[in-house]
Structure 1
Amino acid sequence: MTQMILTGLLCGALLGFVIQRGRFCLTGGFRDMYIAKDNRMLYALLIAIAIQSVGVYALIETGVIEYSAGQIPWVATIIGAYVFGIGIVLAGGCATGTWYRAGEGLIGSWIALAGYMLMSAVMKTGALKPVNSSLKDTAVTNNSIPDTFGLNVWLFIALLVVITLFFVIRTLRKPKVKIPSLPPKRQGLAHLLFEKRWHPFFTAILVGLIAILAWPLSEATGRNSGLGITTPSANVLQYLVTGDDSKYINWGVFLVLGILLGSFIAAKASREFRFRVPDAKTAVSSFFGGILMGFGASWAGGCTIGNGLVQTAMMTWQGWIALAFMILGTWTASYFMFVRPRARAAKQRAATLQATTA
């Protein structure tokens, strides 16, 4: 138990610290792909995926960990990932983003987190458990992409690395826009850790390395998996309700609690922590978004981390299909929440201007 607590909290705290300081927000990244035509966060995610894929499969090759891709419940994956993508826009952050922003003191994220944990628990062990398992029977036996084509996994990893390097190098070669900044108030390591703006690609490298570290640390406690947010989040609530630590307390629980701790430390040290209370409309949107996140992630078998970072790195159909439909769900919600209202407002302003000048 002590090992589980220490390594889970350590790994989670590292992840929470890094994503808070690097503002590693996949919800904003997916949204910006559609609204601002900015793909940098997607490329950052590819960096983290590629690094984790190389590291984890090296661990598998050396016998440090074991892994089986299993089956893919493709209908549940598609529908769940799409619903999850809609939910993260309403909630103002994905599952991991909600945990780390809660550590910054954002009350809206605490509200979203409550909805997310509640629905995840209801779907996994509660009244909606039959719904959660209803589409799981519609599955394809082979979830492994390399096995489907009968090719070595390292060919796909190499292809991913090449594609990632192409987009990263092309992005870094673009002319840089200088952003005015105030003179640094800190010097040396303190400035780098708590004040300097982190590049998303640098942040992604650290996230990929932490994702590799999670596998052997988790497996050492009997949990054969890497980073994961949805089930551990549900387990936190399930333990609080039942008190059954043997069933619900595992390495993943301390991972998500560590994310909260690491984000809090980073936010306090960088003077970014403060309690921010949302208005009623935002609070309702956050809670409903959290509900959709828990519902969708449970059906899809993972969130932006479980599917979008881990399952993609393991070269599974589930991971890449889920990632695509998460992005599609994000774009759908972004259209109705941002693009369409702005277009209407612009049209109304144009009509008003035309009326006043007529």
Structure 2
Amino acid sequence: MEFFLIDRFILAAVFGFLYGFLIQKADFCFVASVRDYISVRDSRIGKGVLVLIATALVGWGLALTFGWASIGQVWSVPVGGMNLIGGVIFGIGMTIAGSCASGALYRAGMGYIQFWIVIASMLAGNILFALIYDPWGAAVQEPLQATETGFSFYQLNLPYLLLPLVVVGFMLFITIRQFGIKGVIQGVKDSIQDLKGNPLTKSHWDIRLVAFLLGVVATLQFILLSTISITGPETRIAGVALSFVFGEDFVYNNTYLNQMFADFPTIGLGPEETLIIFMIVGAFISALLSKSFKIRYPKARRLPYAIGGGLIMGISSRLAPGCNIANVIPGLGGLSLSSIIVVVGMILGVFIATAYIFKMPLLLFQKLDLD
């Protein structure tokens, strides 16, 4: 099958490495973008997320306009109430765990044992959902679906670049009103200062620069390989692990896991799973170059948060479906209606956990310093 040609594995490894390297350089974490603003009105990471969304929107619009990719490649899933419910639960889970799906991967590459625990718990949550789905979960999930297929606003009879340019133009208008044209120009200049000297050995790059580069890399992946996803491939990684323990029939006999491997010739790791693994490798190399790699053991009182938050993230990522990465980059970049609903749910979930569970999470995390 074309899906398993060696060049696709190589491309996936390259893209995964770049994602891990870049995300580590900016400590790019989606949960922090909402959590930090709610708790202490820190919008630094939030600005990066907005730059990433804007870049992905323009990138997807250009790719479709010039025929570099087709509308069939745009990531979208059935629309319904489960998008919102899953998003809210995922937002709560990643706030409890202290990291989003991509944040856990880059921090694992930096040597944080806590986030290896979060990842393992997410895999366990994926499997738990699969076991619940077959036979009970589908009976609850399917009635909440309003459409049987996904919907992207790119499917409207409009020029592909029109909506992205309108949205990004509105974002620029708000930015210029707040900071002025000189402020925006100065912001662009400030964002590229970290490229001076030897940027590879620097411990931090401006998050706006990293967000732009992430959007460019994601657009290239959209054109050359596929759209980026984390929790879907992680579910298949968990399925492969199950097949080693209980045999392949255990996976094939589960309705949900069987669907996850529907395009695979056998139960095994494909390009998307390779990408996930190399995200950790990229973060590891980035941390080594900047001398920020260190094995860090979590304090015992943080373990329930890592395990519980990871389990919630794993289960809810299958409900939504998708994690922060899938719904923010290819989802919003692809103008997917389901992803818009999921992202709104995630923001609500982070707000609920921040305001009513942790009260002031930044103070909590400083008190429970992982170092």
Superposition TM-score, scaled by structure 2 size:
0.79
Contact 1:4–1:254 (8 Å) recurs in 2: no
Alpha-carbon distance in 2 for matches of 1:340, 1:64: 46
Alignment of 1:267-286 (within 5 A): 267-286=287-306
Alignment of 1:98-177 (within 5 A): 98-123=104-129, 125-130=130-135, 132-133=137-138, 134-141=140-147, 143-144=150-151, 146=153, 151-169=158-176, 170=178, 173=183
Contact 1:21–1:194 (8 Å) recurs in 2: no
CA shift for structure 1 position 66: 2.5
Q: Tell me whether 1:320 sits opposite 2:302 in the alignment.
A: no
**In terms of Rg, which structure is larger?**
1
Classify 1:75/1:102 alpha carbon distance in 2 versus 1 (closer, same or farther; 3 Å). Answer: same
Classify 1:342/1:77 alpha carbon distance in 2 versus 1 (closer, same or farther; 3 Å). Answer: closer
SS at match of 1:136: helix
Tell me the amino acid that sits aligned with residue 3 of structure 1.
Answer: D
**One of 293, 304, 309 as aligned partner of 2:313:** 293
Equivalence for 1:232: 233
Alignment of 1:13-28 (within 5 A): 13-28=17-32
Equivalence for 1:209: 216
Q: Deviations over 1:310-335 (max 9, x none)?
A: 21111111111111110110111112
Alpha-carbon distance in 2 for matches of 1:188, 1:151: 42
Q: Tell me whether 1:73 sits opposite 2:79 in the alignment.
A: yes
CA shift for structure 1 position 4: 2.7
**One of 191, 194, 201 as aligned partner of 2:201:** 194
Structure 1: which 5+ runs fail to align?
A: 177-185, 219-224, 344-358
Question: Which piece of structure 1 moves more, 198-207 or 69-78?
Answer: 69-78
**One of 50, 55, 74 as aligned partner of 2:54:** 50
Question: Which piece of structure 1 moves more, 148-157 or 7-16?
Answer: 148-157
Alpha-carbon distance in 2 for matches of 1:306, 1:341: 25
Aligned Cα RMSD in Å? 2.8
Equivalence for 1:90: 96
CA shift for structure 1 position 71: 5.3
Tell me the amino acid that sits aligned with residue 128 of structure 1.
Answer: Y
Tell me the amino acid that sits aligned with residue 332 of structure 2.
Answer: T
CA shift for structure 1 position 235: 1.3
Alpha-carbon distance in 2 for matches of 1:75, 1:258: 34
Tell me the amino acid that sits aligned with residue 25 of structure 1.
Answer: C
Q: Deviations over 1:43-68 (max 9, x none)?
A: 32222122122222322333333334
Alpha-carbon distance in 1 for matches of 2:203, 2:118: 29
SS at match of 2:298: coil
Q: Deviations over 1:75-127 (max 9, x none)?
A: 1101000000001111110001111110011011011101111212332x434
Tell me the amino acid that sits aligned with residue 287 of structure 1.
Answer: I
SS at match of 1:286: helix
SS at match of 1:276: coil
Question: Identity, % of aligned pairs?
Answer: 26
Equivalence for 2:190: none
Superposition TM-score, scaled by structure 1 size:
0.82
Contact 1:115–1:288 (8 Å) recurs in 2: yes
Classify 1:147/1:161 alpha carbon distance in 2 versus 1 (closer, same or farther; 3 Å). Answer: closer
SS at match of 1:73: strand
CA shift for structure 1 position 337: 4.0
Tell me the amino acid that sits aligned with residue 227 of structure 1.
Answer: I
Alignment of 1:31-50 (within 5 A): 31-50=35-54
Equivalence for 2:331: 311
Tell me the amino acid that sits aligned with residue 11 of structure 2.
Answer: T
CA shift for structure 1 position 137: 4.1
SS at match of 1:277: coil
